[in-house]
Structure 1
Amino acid sequence: MRVLLLAGLWVSAMNIAFADEVKALDQSPLNFRQLEKTINQQVARESVPSVSFALIHRNNVVFSHQAGVLKANENTPVTDRTIYEVASLSKPVFATAVLRLAEQGLLDLDKPLYQYLPFNELEKTDRSYRAVTARMVLSHTSGFPNWRWFDKPPESASITRGDMYMKATPGEFTYSGEAFHYLARVVMKLTNSDEKTLEKVLTELVPINDNNDIFWTWDDALAQRKAFGHKKGVPTDREWPVSFPDDKPDRIGVAGRLHTNAETYAHFLSALYSGQYINSWSLMEMLTVQSAVPPDSYDYKNNHLIGWGLGIALGASEFGSRHVHGGNNGDFQSGFTVYRFGELGFVFVTNGDDGERLHRLFESIIKHGTQ
């Protein structure tokens, strides 16, 4: 990206081209310089070592900015080449790949997954899982726990930690990374790949013009480019996110281990809404309510989510359709919100644990503008 020195600030040529025509959803001013200032103010907080941010307008990435440092107490600044864990923002990318496979006739969204690949543990303990389909996985109604190692099963069930179990009846809403992991194994079988080669399959199904800024598994380049995660402002020095004790960085994790930055991810969303990956029918299914968020849940009450499409949450809004996803690996947090099928939206990632507040701040800005 070409960069110009203007009024003492580094401002991308891309940002200048769109600055005059972008307005907030309520038609208030959305000033890019003020947005940049707001982001810079956030990294003055101990809980926000750095932020990577990108703005989408009419399916174009019109603004991006990074601020802060790779690691607290050190002075190395982040750049537009810095890589972050985007946590559960991995799921919409994988969901897009699954929908492409469905369009190709390789996978039926409504065929029980066990008919492709049985889940051996559950075959022995709870065959209710046999009702689970790809559509149920992508809309979080599989009945699986989020992660077997972290979701504590009922004591009455006498289940040893780490053993797979059914948290709910298939068809009930249960947000689950474990289910995505199962669907990934099905995709591996259908594409003759494994945990070390599925990355190539996903990259071919969902090609993102990334300038080598997309990583599903460890690459030596990440040692120099990846930000350090933080909790309460303190570096965790954790190299790779894990969902199981035996996870290794060379094994793909479609539910939460994608590494990239906000601008690159925003290009994925822009291409998705523009129909570059899946056809209009698949996109409509992806963005149509497939399951309801429980009314007594935190997401319903606090985040105003009403349901899930296929891999993306759907929210209530006075400004029209609202599509949302968050990501939380603890020491890396992320999120996006897109309104009106790409009319206006944002992506952010931080290498700290203050992501929920940042997500609400950026939502407020694109709704009501910069002050």
Structure 2
Amino acid sequence: MNLTPQSPARRYLLKTAALSTLASVAWPQRARAAACDDADTWIPPDDFLDDLPRLMRALRVPAIGMAVVERGEVVWSRNLGLANAGTRAPVSDTTLFEDASLSKPVFAYAVLQLADQGVIDLDQPLAQYHRPEYLAAHPWNEQVTARDVLRHSTGLPNWRKDPANEKLVPAVKPGTRIDYSGEAIFWLQRVMETLTGESLDQSMQRLLFGPAGMHDSSYTWSADLAARSVYGHRAVEDEAPGMPPQMLREQWSAAQVIADRWGKPLSAWHYEDAARALPLVQAITPEGLVNWPGDILANAAASLRTTPQDYARFMALMVRTRRESWQITDATRRAMLTRQIDVPARWTDKGLGWNLEATPRGPVFYHSGSNGGIFKNFALGDLAGQRALVVLTNAGSGNVLYRRVVRAATGHDLLTFDL
């Protein structure tokens, strides 16, 4: 469990970061070779920004938030459009977007902070730290580690179809293939709760959001967060009338009633609180809206809300050369951005919390996000150029729009956009 400089777990982390045999080309060398000219910028060009409102109307994307990191600093941001197309409420610099799966790399960073501090061993089975009551009695579950979770090699499903009644079991032996899994992230979140004694949001505020100046970031819900958060909207091809279901907003607004009754904010809830609240929330919600405690608990895999500027502050930590004592070590950052599992014939690789792609313009790391088909987001980083781009939207066609932003701003046309 203790990651001292001499411990086997610590040596393994450093060894993994250094193994060029795990990468098509070693990340730091490729990154240095691909460094772009200082005159290059990832700020979208003026002619593209002038045309952006037309693209938003055509794709029925009411709002977009963008932010750019250059030389390790947030240098530009822009929020356009409407937080709610029905009420015509505009976005502002303090508007919060639902980051969806962009939640995962941020959580991964905090887990790696704990690894650097010796609180968690990335290669110790999670079941030795915490065993969820819904975990199936299966030998493969005894092998799942935090490293497996962060590189998506647990073999677990993304989400169970019937979490109230279905046990969690891997489809394959951990470490043998890539299976994208929100369930695995949520299990690791429960491990973090066990090790820290804190709720997810309390740990994230202490470890990352506070020190990084991410004051508009939270995995949870409150009246203030509700008032500042965008609503999601249908994709352009979806002709159904009215606003689509606002899944997290509806679930958490009901949970807020119980939190107010108890005098315990949702930001302080542990899994046990959500389990105790479940029947009370189900009594005041339509059948099927809230099915298990995970529906009303902060979720490390999906429930982060930020401004684009705040998410860019996180991206700056990934590409900035200088570091402060509270940040992950440089060796750990290299591990995040180094292929962690060798699966033949893949066009993209898995680091710790990030996808990696070797492009004609040099290697990049990235992640996308999609919640409920009504929030679509993307974050892209270039370690060599110390640059990053964040694009957050509030509509089902936002993925079409963010691809145009990425292409116009960076020149990258990623394989992930087509596969």
Q: TM-score range by the shorter chain?
A: 0.7 to 0.9
Shift of 1:182: 0.6
CA RMSD after TM alignment: 2.6
Does the aligned pair in 2 maintain the 1:86–1:261 contact within 8 Å? no
Shift of 1:133: 0.6
Residue 149 of structure 1 corresponds to which residue in structure 2? 161
1:270 paired with 2:316, answer yes
Per-residue CA deviations over 1:213-264 (Å, capped at 9, x if unaligned) read: 1121111112321111111365225161679723477621000000112111
1:345 paired with 2:388, answer yes
Aligned residues: 325
What is the aligned counterpart of 2:333 among 283, 297, 310?
283
Shift of 1:36: 2.9
1:59 paired with 2:72, answer yes
What is the aligned counterpart of 1:169 among 159, 173, 187?
173
1:238 paired with 2:246, answer yes
What is the aligned counterpart of 2:355 among 313, 316, 332?
313
Shift of 1:268: 1.0
Deviating more after overlay: 139-148 vs 218-227 = 218-227
Q: Secondary structure at the match of 1:231?
A: coil
Identity of aligned residues (%): 32
**2:298 maps to amino acid:** I
Per-residue CA deviations over 1:251-303 (Å, capped at 9, x if unaligned) read: 210000001121110011102332342110000000000125674xxxx5xxx
Q: Secondary structure at the match of 1:44?
A: helix
C-alpha distance in structure 1 between counterparts of 2:111 and 2:215, whole Å: 22
Residue 122 of structure 1 corresponds to which residue in structure 2? 135
Does the aligned pair in 2 maintain the 1:43–1:67 contact within 8 Å? no
**2:40 maps to amino acid:** K
C-alpha distance in structure 2 between counterparts of 1:247 and 1:238, whole Å: 18
Structure (1 or 2) with the greater helix fraction: 2
1:37/1:257 Cα in 2 relative to 1: closer, same or farther (>3 Å)?
Answer: same
Q: Secondary structure at the match of 1:165?
A: coil
1:247/1:119 Cα in 2 relative to 1: closer, same or farther (>3 Å)?
Answer: closer
**2:156 maps to amino acid:** F
Shift of 1:31: 5.9
1:39/1:150 Cα in 2 relative to 1: closer, same or farther (>3 Å)?
Answer: farther
C-alpha distance in structure 2 between counterparts of 1:247 and 1:115, whole Å: 22
Residue 101 of structure 2 corresponds to which residue in structure 1? 88
**1:98 maps to amino acid:** V
Residue 259 of structure 2 corresponds to which residue in structure 1? none
**1:202 maps to amino acid:** M
Residue 11 of structure 1 corresponds to which residue in structure 2? none
Does the aligned pair in 2 maintain the 1:148–1:161 contact within 8 Å? no
Per-residue CA deviations over 1:98-146 (Å, capped at 9, x if unaligned) read: 101001111111111111123444353x221111110110000001100
TM-score relative to the length of structure 1: 0.80
Q: Secondary structure at the match of 2:135?
A: helix
C-alpha distance in structure 2 between counterparts of 1:341 and 1:39, whole Å: 28
1:341/1:90 Cα in 2 relative to 1: closer, same or farther (>3 Å)?
Answer: farther
Q: Secondary structure at the match of 2:407?
A: helix
1:281/1:335 Cα in 2 relative to 1: closer, same or farther (>3 Å)?
Answer: same
**2:103 maps to amino acid:** S
Shift of 1:358: 2.5
C-alpha distance in structure 1 between counterparts of 2:359 and 2:411, whole Å: 13
1:221/1:248 Cα in 2 relative to 1: closer, same or farther (>3 Å)?
Answer: farther
Shift of 1:361: 1.3
Shift of 1:333: 1.1
1:146/1:258 Cα in 2 relative to 1: closer, same or farther (>3 Å)?
Answer: same
1:201 paired with 2:199, answer no
TM-score relative to the length of structure 2: 0.71
What stretches of structure 1 of length at least 5 have no aligned partner?
1-20, 152-159
Does the aligned pair in 1 maintain the 2:68–2:390 contact within 8 Å? yes
Residue 14 of structure 2 corresponds to which residue in structure 1? none
What stretches of structure 2 of length at least 5 have no aligned partner?
1-37, 237-241, 252-288, 413-419
1:239/1:132 Cα in 2 relative to 1: closer, same or farther (>3 Å)?
Answer: closer
Per-residue CA deviations over 1:6-47 (Å, capped at 9, x if unaligned) read: xxxxxxxxxxxxxxx75258xxxx665334324333322343
Shift of 1:321: 1.9
C-alpha distance in structure 2 between counterparts of 1:72 and 1:46, whole Å: 13
Shift of 1:192: 1.3
